[in-house]
Amino acid sequence: MPCSYYSPGEEASIRAQKASERANKYKKDLDRLGLEADKLREIVIEYLDGKTPEIPKELQASIRRAQTKHRKVDLARLEIVFTEKKDADKLEAVWEADPKKPLEPQLGFDPDEF
């Protein structure tokens, strides 16, 4: 059976195409998140400028839900990373972490570094 071989240029092109496909898959979500971030930024600036007495409770709850969801995704990713690395100490910290609280103080490291 013949072996397929790609030149370094062809491999780079294939990787770039796959990355583009992955990015397009999430483009709708990223566009939506960009709009939400713009709206949130406006609300926070109005609050900081004193134009709004407080950030709406509904928005605060929405932010908490989004943060918790993001932390759960981080914890799931970290569990995979540290299982593959066979790092029992960090894996234990990941298992004990509460996604409703900031992760960095609980884990002792920035989860985005892994």
What residue numbers bound the domain in which 21 lies? 8-54
Q: How many helices (H) and strands (E) does the chain have?
A: 4, 0
Kindly state whether residues 65 and 90 are assigned to the same domain: yes
The string of pLDDT tens digits covering residues 21-55 is 777 777 777 777 777 788 888 888 888 888 878 88
50 and 63 housed in the same domain:
no
**pLDDT, tens digit, for every residue of 60-74?**
888 888 899 999 999
Q: Is 4 helix (H, G, I), strand (E, B) or coil?
A: coil
Residues 65 and 114 in one domain: yes
Rounded to an integer, what distance in angstroms lies between the CA atom of residue 48 and that of residue 52? 8
Show the CA angle centred on residue 21, arms to residues 16 and 27, nearest 5°.
Answer: 120
Residues 87 and 60 in one domain: yes
On whether both 27 and 70 belong to a single domain, the answer is: no
Same domain, 103 and 64: yes
Mark whether 74 and 93 lie in a shared domain.
Answer: yes
Whole-model pTM?
A: 0.58
